[in-house]
């Protein structure tokens, strides 16, 4: 089946962004320019730009045009920042303690999330993120070997998995859920909780153009961490 023209335009724009031909905040061709380039109607070109805007790949400024958005692993409602950047923005020191980085047989729930089969190889990392040497978050992450073949060769004491994955497999989509949990003994030990206390657990699945990249479980003490965001409501050009 032939690719729909609006999808072809989307693929072209995503391709230009991925090879850095169009960096963040650069203007992309207008509806008229894309319509002429691809031999389609303005409505078709508009649909491509609109869908990329809804996905957070582009942003539109009324009367000016469409631009490449800053790369974010987030939903449309709540931004999830790289934890190292979050800590640095508060003027504090970030560090990490790598507990495990290995290849495992894929658990059933992870296989379903990453499009793998049960017991297929999957990469796994377990990291404690620290703020001013105090544990802030325990990150358990599963990563698709097909999409990120060199994941287990990285030094995650020097960069976070989020930073590495954003560079190697540029993120086009993310989904997440947040829940309150009661931590087990392992979590209490590595977050240095004197006694069990409610924790926040963020479950986040990220995608690139090629498919699901990773499934992460991010656990933080409720007394040390909170989630928040800023919503900006603006009129969009129709």
Going by C-beta distance under 8 Å and a sequence separation of 6 or more, which residues neighbour residue 99?
126, 127, 128, 190
pLDDT at 19: 82
Averaged pLDDT for residues 13-21: 84
Q: Are residues 131 and 99 in the same domain?
A: yes
Q: How many helices (H) and strands (E) does the chain have?
A: 7, 8
Q: Are residues 92 and 64 in the same domain?
A: no
Q: Are residues 120 and 87 in the same domain?
A: yes
Question: How far is it, in rounded angstroms, from Cα 74 to Cα 65?
Answer: 23
Q: Are residues 48 and 149 in the same domain?
A: no
Q: Are residues 106 and 39 in the same domain?
A: no
Phi-psi region of 153 (alpha: psi -120 to 50; beta: other; left: phi over 0): alpha
Domain that holds residue 125: 83-221
- Which of 76, 1, 18, 13 has the alpha carbon at shortest distance from 47? 13
Q: Is the pLDDT of residue 75 over 60?
A: no
pTM for this predicted structure: 0.65
Question: How far is it, in rounded angstroms, from Cα 175 to Cα 202?
Answer: 10
Return contacts of 102-106, CB within 8 angstroms, 24+ apart.
102/152, 103/145, 103/152, 106/142
Q: Are residues 58 and 153 in the same domain?
A: no
Are 186 and 99 in contact by the 8 Å Cβ rule? The answer is no
DSSP code, position 237: -
Radius of gyration of the chain (CA): 20
pLDDT in tens, 181-202: 999 999 999 999 987 789 989 9
Q: Are residues 129 and 25 in the same domain?
A: no
Kind and range of the H or E element at 217? strand 211-221
Question: How far is it, in rounded angstroms, from Cα 11 to Cα 19?
Answer: 12
Q: Are residues 63 and 87 in the same domain?
A: no
pLDDT in tens, 55-71: 778 888 877 889 888 65
The verdict on residue 233 lying in a domain is no
Most confident of 10-14, 57-61, 72-76: 10-14
Lowest mean per-residue pLDDT among 35-39, 58-62, 78-82, 165-169: 78-82
Q: Is the pLDDT of residue 163 over 70?
A: yes
The verdict on residue 77 lying in a domain is no
Residues 144-156 as b or e (16 or more Cβ within 10 Å = b)? bbebbeebeebeb
Residue 60: give its domain's CATH number. Answer: 1.10.10.10
The verdict on residue 227 lying in a domain is no
- Measured CA to CA in angstroms, residue 57 lies from 17, 132, 217, 237 at distances of 9, 34, 25, 16
Phi-psi region of 43 (alpha: psi -120 to 50; beta: other; left: phi over 0): alpha
The verdict on residue 230 lying in a domain is no
Residue 141: give its domain's CATH number. Answer: 3.40.1410.10
Q: Is the pLDDT of residue 150 over 60?
A: yes
Number of domains forming the structure of the chain: 2
Q: Are residues 108 and 41 in the same domain?
A: no
Q: Are residues 100 and 166 in the same domain?
A: yes
Q: Are residues 100 and 156 in the same domain?
A: yes
Q: Are residues 137 and 52 in the same domain?
A: no
């Amino acid at each position: 089946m032939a690719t729909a023209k609006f999808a072809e335009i989307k693929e072209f724009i995503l391709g230009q962004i991925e090879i850095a031909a169009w960096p963040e905040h650069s203007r992309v061709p207008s509806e008229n320019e894309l319509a002429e380039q691809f031999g389609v109607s303005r409505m078709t070109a508009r649909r491509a730009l609109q869908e990329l805007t809804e996905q957070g790949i582009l942003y539109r400024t009324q009367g000016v045009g469409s631009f490449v958005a800053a790369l974010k692993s987030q939903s449309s409602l709540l931004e999830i920042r790289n934890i190292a950047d979050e800590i640095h923005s508060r003027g504090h020191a970030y560090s990490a303690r790598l507990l495990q980085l290995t290849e495992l047989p894929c658990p059933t729930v992870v296989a379903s999330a990453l499009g793998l089969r049960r017991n297929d190889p999957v990469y796994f990392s377990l990291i404690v993120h620290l703020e001013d040497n105090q544990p802030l978050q325990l990150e358990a992450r599963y990563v698709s070997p097909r999409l990120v073949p060199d994941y287990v060769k990285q030094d995650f004491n020097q960069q976070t998995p989020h930073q590495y994955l954003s560079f190697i497999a540029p993120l086009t989509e993310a989904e997440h859920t947040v829940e309150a949990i009661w931590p087990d003994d392992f979590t209490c030990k590595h977050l240095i909780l004197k006694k069990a206390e409610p924790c926040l657990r963020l479950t986040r699945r990220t995608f690139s153009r090629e498919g699901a990249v990773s499934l992460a479980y991010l656990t933080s003490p409720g007394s040390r961490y909170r989630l928040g965001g800023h919503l900006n409501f603006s009129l969009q050009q129709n």
